[in-house]
Chains A and B, each alone.
Chain A
Amino acid sequence: MLWEVDIYPAEGQPDLVAGQVARESADLGLAGDLAVTSARGYLIQAALDRRQVERIARELLADRVVEKTVVAAVGDEALSTPPEQDRRLVHVLPKPGVMDPVAQSALTAIADLEIEVEAVGTLKKYWIGRLSDEQFELLASKVLANDAVERVIVGPLDFDHLEVGSPYDFELVTVPIGQLDDEALQKLSFEGQLFLSLTEMQTIRDHFQSLGRDPTDVELETIAQTWSEHCSHKTLAGRIHYRDPDGERTFQNMRREPIFATTVKIREEAGEADWCVSVFEDNAGIVRFDDEYNIVFKVETHNHPSALEPYGGANTGIGGVIRDPMGTGMGAKPVANTDVFCFAPPDTPLDQLPPGVLHPRRVMRGVVAGVRDYGNRMGIPTVNGALYFDPRYLGNPLVYCGNIGLIPRDKSFKQAKPGDLIVGVGGRTGRDGIHGATFSSAELTSQSETVSGGAVQIGNAITEKMLLDVLLVARDRGLYNAVTDCGAGGFSSAVGEMGEQIGAEVNLDRITLKYEGISYTEMWISEAQERMTLAVPPERWDELNELCTSEGVEATVIGRFVPTGRLVLKYNDHKVADLTMDFLHGGRPPVVRDAVYTPAPIEPQPLPEKYTWDYTNELMQVLGSLNVASKQWVIRQYDHEVQGGSAIKPLVGAANDGPGDAAVLRPVLQSRRGIVVACGMNPCYGDLDTYHMAASAIDEAVRNCVAVGADPARIAILDNFCWGNTDRAETLGSLVRAALACHNVAAALGTPFISGKDSLNNEFRPEGADEPISIPPSLLISAMGQIDDVGRSVTMDLKEPGNYLYQIGTTKDEMGGSHFALVQSLTGGQVPTVDAKLAKRTFAALHKTIDAGLVRACHDLSEGGLAVAAAEMAFAGNLGLRVFLAQVPHEIELDDESIAEARHLAESIADEELHPLAGCARATAVLLFSESNTRFLCEVHPDNADAFEAALADVPHALVGEVADTGRLEIIGIPRPIPDEETDQPVEIGAPLVVEAELATLKETWQKPLAW
C-alpha cells in the first residue's frame, strides 16, 4: 500500500516556502500577490495500517508544535481537498533515479521506530491560486520544479507504488566504427555525446581497425572521457601557434610553458628556501605552511551544470572541489572554501530571456543555496568570494568553487603499487552525472536542458562528510598507498589516472549501485558524487573495511592494479573493455591550434570636464553598481566561522558589515599562524586588453592578501581561465595573451602559480541564432597567503578620529574598463596596467609597516578607485574622513590644452602657485575613480607617521587625508582660481568639495542593490 503524509504549517505559523514561491512568481512577472499554500510530503510504501503511519508522522516526520499533518492512502480525497477555493494542486517529485537523501534518512529512522516499510519517497506539494494555464505552466517549470531532476504532477498522484528500478540484463554492446566515413564519425561523436573532434574519431577508428575489431561502447566512452577537454585540457596542453604584433611563437604546451615554467624558475631562485611542495601535478597545488603541515589549494568551475540546474550544479561544484584536496597527496583536511560567481544582471527583463535559459535571479538564488548547503553541511567555512555581473553571462553563468586543505608534510605524496586493490569508497553509483565531462566541453544551446539533463549530478554532503571523517583516520593509520577523487569521468578517470603507469583490472559488477537497471557502461562513467578511489595493499583491506563500516561508509573492492599496462574491464565473466594505457593516455592526436591577437587601438574616452562639479552622485552610482555593492546577502548564508579558526571575517568594521579585503583563519587551533585568502578578477578589462586584465587580476589578488597583513613572499596563486570557444583563433589569442601576462607578472612578483584549470567553450547559442553569445574573457586569480601571527592582521575599517590617511601607489589616467566608465556608459580609455617591479617593492614595504604594527586600517583600491575605497573605509568604521585630491600621488600626463589652461589660470592669479593639475579638466574624475593597480589607503596614527613614511621611502606614497569625527565623507578637489560671480574674473584660489555625503547614505546606497 502507498501512504502519503502531507505536512503543513500549523495555524498561525508562517508558510515560508509559499512566501518564497510568491516572491519568485513576482520576479517572473507572473502575479504580484499569488496565493500559495505549500506542504512537504512523504510517500511510504508499506503494509501498514493508518494508525502506524500516523505514528510515523507524529513521532518522526512532523514537528507537532508548529506543523499539522494529513495522512491518507494515495488516491484518497483527503489528499486532494484544496485548503481554499480556486486552488490548483501541483506535486513535485524527484525523477526516478535521482537521489533522494531525505527519503533514505527517513527510511532508516522509521526502522528505529521498529516499523517495517518497503520504500520511502519525498514530494513537495503546492496549492496555487488563480493563474492562466500558460502562467501556471511557466510557474511550474521555472519556479516549482527543475525539469533536469524533478517531475511535475498536476492534480492527484497517478501511481500507487514507488519505482525502484528494474534489474539490468547484461548485453555487450559494440560500436561498428570500422567502416564509418567522416560524416558518420562526426554524427556518432555528437549523438553519442562523446564531443570528440573528427581527427580524434578517425584516430580511434584506425586504432581499432589495426586491432581487427570494433570497440565496445564502454571502450569508446572511456576514451571520450579521458580525451575530453574537461579531463585532458587538450587545448591549453596542446600545441598553439600564436601571432601578435610582436611576432610569432609556438607553444608546445601552453600551461607548462608560460605558467608552470614561472613557478619552476621561482623555485629555483628560492633554492633552499623553496616553499612550494607539489605544483601542477596532483589534484591541488601544495605549499609549505609550518614545520608540521603543508597547505593545498584548488579552484574548479561548474558552469554548464549550474546553467541547467543552479542548485544541483553549484552544490556538486563545491562538493567536487572539496574532494580535490581530499584526493591530493594522501588526503588533505579541507579548511576553507571560496566561491566566485558571474551572472547576468538580476533585473534582466523576462521578455529578453531566450528559450531554455533560466532567469539570472533564479540562477543566483539557486547557485548561492547550492554552495551554502554543501559547504555548511561539510563543516567547512566559506571565507572568500566575489560576484560579477555582465549580460553576456545570461545563458552561461560562471560558478568557481575553491577549497583549501591542510595536510601533514609527510603525507603530501602518493604512489599506487602493482598488486594494490582498487577500492571505491563513499557514495553509491547511480545514473546521475552521465556525460558530465564531455558535456562541459560542448557549447550550451536551448536544447542542452533536454539532451544533457542527465549530466547534472545531485549531491549529498553528509555522505561526503562521512567519507572525509574515515579517510583522514585511514590516512593516518597508513591503510592505503594512494587516493584520488571520482570527479569528471567517474571511475573511468580515477582508475585510469591512478593506474596510468601500471595497469588495472576492474570488475564492474562489484560496483555498489543506488538502484538496479544500470548498465556496465553507466557504472563506469557515472559521475555520481561523493566517491573516491583508493589503492589499498591487500593486507590492509580488512582494517580499512572495518573502519569504514564502523561509521557507516561503504567501501568496495572493485579491482586491482596489475603491471600489464592495460585497462581491462569485466562484467561478471565477460570482458567488456581491453585498452592499452598507452593508447588511452598517449594516443590522442595532438591538438594544434592557431591563436591570433590584434590589439584594439586605444580609443579616447570622453570624461566629463568638470572642475567644481560635485561627483557625489557618480560615487553613489558606482557604490550602488552590482559588482561593487555589498554581498552581505550571500556572505551571511555561508558559515564562515566553523572549525573555530576565523580571525578576519569576510565582513568587518564597526557594524560587522564592511567589505574586508581578504579572510584570515588559523587552520591549526594550537598555533597563531594564519592562512590569508583572497581573489582578483576584472572581466570589465578583458574587452580592452586581456594582458592587462590578467596582470590586474594578479595584482588585485596579491594586494588583497597584503592589505590584511599577508607576507608577500609567501603568497601562492591559482588561475582559472573561463573563455569562449577557443576554436576561433582570436578567442584563443586573447587567452594566450592573458597567459603571457600571468607569466610576466608572476615572475616579476616572485609569486608562484601552484595550480590552475581552464573551462573553454563558455558560449550559449539561443534558439535560431546564427552566432553564439560568448562570455567575456574571465580569468579568476585566487590567492592563498600566510601570516606568522593572525594577531598582526589589519582590517579596512577606519579606527580613530585624528589618524592620518595615506595613499600608497600612483594614480594614472587608467579609466578604461573602470566602474566609473561602466555606470556612465563610457567606452574607450586606457585599461589599468601593472608595473610589476614597483608592485613587488610596494608590497614588501607595506608589509613591513603592517608587520611592525604601524597601520591601523588598510584597504586596497580596486573597483571604483580612491572614492569607493575611501567611502568603504569610512562607513565600515563609522567615522568621517576628509581626503585632499591635491595630495594624491599621480602620473596624469598633461595635454597641450591642459597646459595652456594652467598657464592662463596662472596669469590670472599672479602671486599664487598653482597645482600642476589645475588646468586639467579630467583630473578630478581620474583621481577619484581611476582603477590603477598597486594602490592602497592606510590609516596611521600621527605618532607613527614618521616611521611609516620612512619605511615607504622607496615607493610612491603621500598623506592624503585625515579621519574625522564628522559622520561624513568629504573629498576636496584640486585648488584652482574661483571666478568672482559678478565679473567672472578669477579672484582667489579655492578648493571645491567634489564629494560630500553622509556615511549612512553611502552605506545604504552600497547595501541596497543586493539586499534580497
Chain B
Amino acid sequence: MAQPNVLILRAPGTTCDAETAFAFEQAGAKAELVHINRLLEHPDLFSRSQILCIPGGFSYGDDVAAGRILANQIQHHLAEHLAQFKAAGKLILGICNGFQVLIRSGILLEPDAQNGPPATLTVNDSGKFEDRWVRLEVRGAKCVFLSGIDAMYLPVAHAEGKFVARDADVLDRLESAGQLVLRYRPLSEDAGGGNSDAVPYPDNPNGSVAGTAGLCDATGRVLGMMPHPERHIDPTHHPRWTRGEAGEVGDGLKVFTNAVEYFA
C-alpha cells in the first residue's frame, strides 16, 4: 500500500497539530507539520502531499472570528494552489478550527458573488466554550473520510461551532446533495431516535441547524467537522472505558484510516 503524505498545516495558535499527526501516523500515513509562513513562501509544498489537514486550535487567537484570519490568508494567497490540490483528487480535512477555516475560506462551499458565503459557524447558543462528548450519526455515503462509518462517539471542544445556513434553500440543497454528513444525535439511544433532527442541548452542543456537526464538499473529498476524531483513537480516550464501554480502538481512528486507504 502506498503511504500517503499528510500536510498538517500549523499557524500561530494551532494547538491540535501533534495529536492529529499522531492519529494519521497510527493510521499508516506519513505526517509533516508545516507552518503557514512556509506555505506562503513555498506554495509548491502542497505538491508533495496527498492529504491536507487543518487541525484544531485558535489560529491567530480566533481574533475577529474563529478561523477568520487564517482563512483570509488562504483566500488571498493560496486559493489557486488549493484549487489545484482539490482538482488533483487529493483529500482535505478540517477539524474544529480547521472546519471554521475551510468554511470561511470558501474551500468547502463556494460563495456566490451576490449573496456571499452560503453558510457559517458561529457562537454556540450557550454563549461559551464547552468540552463534552457527542453522539454522531454519519450520513456519509459520499464522503471519503466517513466511508463505512454509521455512528461515532467523539468529543467537541469549541465556542464557535453552531452551523447556520444562509437560508432554507441552501440547507435543502446541501441536504439533498448529501453534504450534511455528520449530525448530532441524542446521547441516550432510547431518547428521541427516529429521524428527527431536533436534538436539544446539550446533545446538540451548540445549536447547529439540522444538528449539523460536519459537512463535506460536492466531491466528498473535503470534510469539515467540529468534533475531534483525533481525541478518540485510543480506548482510554473514551470517557467510560473504565465501565467497559470502549472498543478495541477509538471511533475516530477510522476517519484517518479511510483517508490513508483511499490512496492504497
Question: Could you tell me which A residues sit within 8 Å of B by CB distance?
Answer: 13-14, 16, 19-20, 58-61, 63-66, 101-102, 104-106, 108-109, 112-114, 372-373, 376-379, 460-462, 465-466, 469, 550-552, 636-649, 651-654, 656, 666, 669, 790-791, 793-795, 797, 799
With A465-B15, A552-B12, A644-B22 already in contact, the answer to whether A794 and B242 are too (CB < 8 A) is: yes
- Select the stretch in B83-91, B144-152, B233-241, B254-262 that faces chain A: B233-241
Chain B residues whose CB sits within 8 angstroms of the CB of A379 once the complex forms: 14-16, 57-58
Cα–Cα, bound, A329→B131 (Å):
33
Residue numbers in B under 8 Å from A651 (CB-CB): 239
6 cross-chain CB contacts under 8 A: A20-B127, A65-B117, A379-B58, A462-B13, A466-B13, A669-B22
Do A112 and B72 touch across chains, with their CB atoms under 8 A apart?
A: yes
For B220-242 the 0/1 string (1 means CB < 8 A from A) is: 00000000101101011101101
Cα–Cα, bound, A64→B56 (Å): 23
**Interface footprint category on B:** 35 or more
Nearest CB of B to A97, in Å: 19
Out of A16, A108, A641, which one reaches B69, CB within 8 Å?
Answer: A108
Given contacts A105-B60, A462-B60, contact A113 B76 (CB under 8 A): yes
B141 at the interface (CB under 8 A from A): no
Q: Which residues of B contact A641 (CB under 8 A)?
A: 131, 155, 157, 228, 231, 237
Question: In whole angstroms, what is the CA distance A666 to B243 when docked?
Answer: 19
Q: A59-B72, A379-B16 are in contact. List 17 more A-B contacts (CB 8 A).
A: A102-B63, A106-B63, A109-B69, A109-B73, A373-B129, A378-B15, A461-B13, A637-B131, A639-B129, A641-B231, A641-B237, A645-B19, A651-B239, A654-B240, A656-B240, A669-B19, A794-B242
A106 to B60, CA, bound (A): 10
How far is A104 from B61 in the complex, measured between Cα atoms in Å?
11
**Which residues of B, 121-166, contact A by the 8 Å Cβ criterion?**
122-123, 125, 127-133, 155, 157, 164-166
| A109 with B125: CB separation less than 8 A | no
Give Cα A656–Cα B156 distance, bound, in whole angstroms: 14
**Alpha-carbon distance A14/B201, docked complex (angstroms):** 16
Inter-chain contacts of A799 with B (CB < 8 A): 242-244
Query: B12 touches which one: A376, A466, A642 (CB < 8 A)?
Result: A466
Q: Which residues of B contact A649 (CB under 8 A)?
A: 239
The residue among B18, B64, B129 with the most chain A CB atoms within 10 A of its own CB is B64
- Known pairs A112-B76, A552-B37; A58 contacts B116 (CB<8 A): yes
User: Could you tell me if A109 and B68 are in contact, using CB atoms closer than 8 angstroms?
Assistant: yes
Contacts of B62 in A (CB 8 A): 377
A645 to B237, CA, bound (A): 7
Which of B22, B56, B61, B166 contacts A460, CB < 8 Å? B61
Complex Cα–Cα for A551 and B17 (A)? 15
A461 and B129 contact, CB distance less than 8 A: no
Q: Which residue of A lies closest to B22 (CB)?
A: A669
Q: A105-B63, A644-B231 are in contact. Are A462 and B120 (CB under 8 A)?
A: no
**Chain B nearest CB, measured from A37 CB (Å):** 16
Residues of B with C-beta under 8 A to A637:
128-131
A553 closest partner in B (C-beta): B12
Contact between A639 and B157 (Cβ–Cβ < 8 Å)? yes
B64–A636 CB distance below 8 A: no
A103 closest partner in B (C-beta): B63
Report B77-124 residues with CB < 8 Å from chain A CB.
77, 115-120, 122-123
Hey, which chain B residues are within 8 Å of A61, CB to CB? 64
How far is it, in angstroms, between the C-alpha of A740 and the C-alpha of B188 when the chains are bound?
Answer: 51
* Contact for A656 among B18, B133, B235, CB less than 8 A: B133
State A106–B117 Cα separation when bound (angstroms): 20
Which one, A109, A465, A653, contacts B72 given CB within 8 A?
A109
Contact between chains at B243 and A101 (CB < 8 Å): no
Please name the residue on chain B nearest to A372 by beta carbon: B129
Residue in contact with B64 in the complex, picked from A64, A105, A639, A666, CB distance below 8 Å: A105
CA distance A59 to B237 in the complex (A): 39
Complex CA gap A105/B239 in Å reads 37
Give B199-230 as 1s and 0s: 1 = Cβ < 8 Å from A's Cβ atoms.
Answer: 00000000000000000000000000000101
B18 touching A790, Cβ below 8 Å: no
Enumerate chain A residues within 8 angstroms of B173, measured Cβ to Cβ.
none
**A922 → chain B, closest Cβ, in Å?**
37
Task: A597 to B132: give the CA distance in the assembly, Å.
Answer: 48
Which residues of A have CB within 8 Å of B122? 13, 63, 65-66
Residues of B within 8 A of A378 (CB): 15
Q: How far is the CB of B202 from chain A (nearest CB, A)?
A: 9
